[in-house]
Structure formats: structure tokens, C-alpha cells
Amino acid sequence: MLGMAPSVHKPNAFLPSGCLREPKEKEHIPRPVPLFRPDRILLTKGWDRTPQQARLAEGICAAYPHAEVVDRADRSHNHVDLGCDDSLVRHRTGKRTLVLGEHKSPVRFSDEQRVCCPNYWHFSPYGFCPYGCTYCYLAGTRGVWFSPTVKVFLNLDEMLARINRTARRLARPVAFYLGKLQDGLALDPLTGYSRRLVPFFAAHPYAHLIVLTKSGQVDDLLDLAPEGHTILSWSLTPEALARRYEPSAPTTAARLAAMRRCAAAGYRLRAVVMPILPVRGWRCAYGDLLQELLGLEAMERVTLGSLCSFPNAMRLMMRKLGRQDELSASLARLARSQDGRYRFPPKTRTDCYRFLLRIIAQGRPSLEVGLCLEQAEVLHRAGLERRTSQCNCVL
């Protein structure tokens, strides 16, 4: 595993030997990400494999002059040992650690089983997320649990080449999802990737981009022409619950404002309301949120979902919440499902969905609606068995 000690550079003193280049006029200048202030930046295997990657890495380091930069180009991004045995300490340390490197298998086809979701193509220019959501399901996944760092993968050219080959081989409209294993826009001020992704997909005869995010930073998107090939989807929680359970994430109001700006710029919009947290006052809170969404004319699909996390993520969530939180008591009702995830009882989930589906049906009966990572029994009880293809992750 990658230790933290070797090749430590003092803040403001990182000038990688042989990698200084005059930036091209149109190259993105990395900007600090609101709500994210890393203490360390780790340079892992492949970070300087091309001049373009080296320049971007250098710019990212310059955006955080206070951060300690550690050069460990001899190890890969997923071999980062933060030196913490306690899972909660390790998680919080990882949220303050930025890793720059390469991802050698960034374009994949999902393999969900025992749920009603269709499988789909996804890709990873980022890993994990800088936000601090208490219920984060990614925190318990195998790729994050032992090394929960925030990652930027610099080999975007390779990813786009693989997406191009895959889409042309399929020779039909196909979506590539950015948001399964990361927040799709949270680090965009650092990388400027959106300014390459949106034009790439806009010009492609088959490939479409779907991005899931909580970010409110969309300035770099607004002067691009998506040509109907980029769908922006926001993960949304009622404001009062977001303040309690989504620390270090943009406010719900900021996300809704970003959605309106992107709609005005010609982007297709979707929303994911997940996880639905059945705490005191949840009906009014989620009902009000849905009314706001229904007022967005560009909104084409809403996906609902409940808590569904693997055991490690559940344990971490309970430690974050503490015993006094209202949500903690309800977690005792969660049971392990056939796919290994913990969920509320089917009746609880069904009641939540039915309530919210009635609001949608009354306000926008033609709006596409789906359920995320749900089981056939609940889909049937909610009356959505014919809508298994209306997932956020597919066209």
C-alpha cells in the first residue's frame, strides 16, 4: 500500500521537474472547488505520462497552494494507505486527500443483480466525492472503503477513445453515465472536463452523456451546445434534511438554481430524489421539493429511491449520526436484501413511493418516473412494473 511519507513537497513549492510547459491559450485553468479544501495532494502512477496530464496536475496543485504535495508515481491510485485503522478517521482523512493519477479500466458496463434496474455503460474521470453526505453508499464499496480519497483521473483522452469505440461498435444511441462511482460535476472547476465532454458527445452520432451531481458550479457548461446529447441530473434532498444529512454539499437551493441556469442554456434535465428519509415531517418536505421540480419545464424524468447500502456503509453512517439522531432509531428496521444491501421494509418504501407518485401524477401525469435499485416486489406494489427502463442511468 502507498504510504504518506516519501517525497513530501512543501506547500507553494511544487514545481515538477521537466514538466513545466507554457499553457495553451484555450487550456482550462484549474480553480479551487467550493466546499473542498484538501490537506494533501498525492501524485500517483501515470500522473505525468503525457505533457497534457502533467500540465493539468501542475495546475490543480497550484489551485491549492496550502496543500502538501506527495510524489508517489511508483504506486497506483488505488494503493493509497492513509495510515488510519479506524474507519471513520480514515473516511474523514480521505475527504481531505486529493489523488491525481490514471484509471486503466475507466469505461465499464454495470453488473447489477437482484434489482429491477437495467444495466448500463458508465465511466470514471473521477473517483469518490468531496461532499460529506452522512448516508453515502459509496463509502462502503470495496473500491472506497480502504482508500476513501477523492480522485481525479488525468487520462481523459483514453476514456473518450474507449467511449467512441464502444458506441460505434454498438451503432445505436447509447448513454454513458458519469455519477455511479463519483459526483459528476463536483470537481469540474478543477479539471474543466465538462468543456471537453459536452462537445465530444454533442458531435458523436451515437454516444450520449448523463451526469449525476449535487454541484451548483455550472458556469463552464453554459456557453456550450449540448445538441440534446448531454442530460444533467441532480441529486436532490429537501433543504431542511440536506442541512442535517449532507454536510459540505451545496444547498438544495443552489442545486435548483443551477438546474434552472442549465435548462435556459438548452440542457435536458432529470432529478434523483434519493434516499427518501422517512423522518418526522418527511411528507411535507418531499412534497414541497417535488412541486419545485414539477415547475421546471425542462424536467424529463424523476427517479425516486430509498436507502440501500452495503454493511460497511451502514456502519459508517450510524457512527456519523450518533445514537441521538432521529434517523438512527429507524435504521434498526433495515434488513439485508438478496443483493446484500440494507433497506427499509418493503411496506415503508412502498408507502413513500405511492405518496410521492400521487403528487407527480397530479402535477405532471406525463412525466417519466423510475425507481432506483429497487426490487420487483416494491416496483409492483408501487404500480411501476412497466417502467423498469425509465432509470436515471439510461436514455
Per residue in 254-287, pLDDT (tens digit) is 999 999 999 999 999 999 999 999 999 999 999 9
In tens, the pLDDT along 299-338 reads 999 999 999 999 999 999 999 999 899 998 888 889 999 8
Helix axes 156-170, 194-203, angle to 10 degrees: 20
Q: What is the mean pLDDT of residues 49-64?
A: 97
Cα–Cα distance for residue pair 309/94, rounded to 1 Å: 20
DSSP 297-330: TTEEEEEE----B-HHHHHHHHHHH-TTSHHHHH
> Do residues 391 and 303 lie in contact, with contact meaning Cβ atoms separated by under 8 Å?
yes
Instruction: Give the residues across from 126 on adjacent strands.
Output: 152
Helix (H, G, I), strand (E, B) or coil at 75: coil
As a whole number, mean pLDDT of residues 95-101 equals: 98
How many angstroms separate the CA atoms of 309 and 55, rounded?
38
Per the structure block, which three cell numbers stand in for 258?
A: 443551477
Predicted pLDDT at 25: 45
Say what the pLDDT of residue 385 is: 73
The domains of the chain, with CATH numbers, are: 104-144+154-387 (3.80.30.30)
pLDDT of residue 323: 87
Q: Is residue 14's pLDDT more than 60?
A: no
Q: Is the pLDDT of residue 2 over 60?
A: no
Residue in the structure block whose three cell numbers are 463509502: 139
pLDDT tens track for 370-388: 999 999 899 999 988 766 5
Question: In this predicted structure, what is the pLDDT of residue 22?
Answer: 39
As separate numbers, helices (DSSP H) first and strands (DSSP E) second, the chain gives 13, 16
pLDDT 10s digits, 163-216: 999 999 999 999 999 999 999 999 999 999 999 999 999 999 999 999 999 999
Per-residue confidence (pLDDT) for residue 388, from 0 to 100: 58
Q: How many CB atoms sit inside 10 A of residue 115's CB?
A: 20
Contact 173, 395 (CB under 8 A): yes
pLDDT over threshold 90, residue 19 = no
Angle (CA) 357-241-112 rounded to 5° is 55
Among residues 377, 395, 375, the alpha carbon closest in space to that of 117 is found at: 375
Taking alpha carbons only, the member of 74, 72, 75, 94 closest to residue 83 is: 94
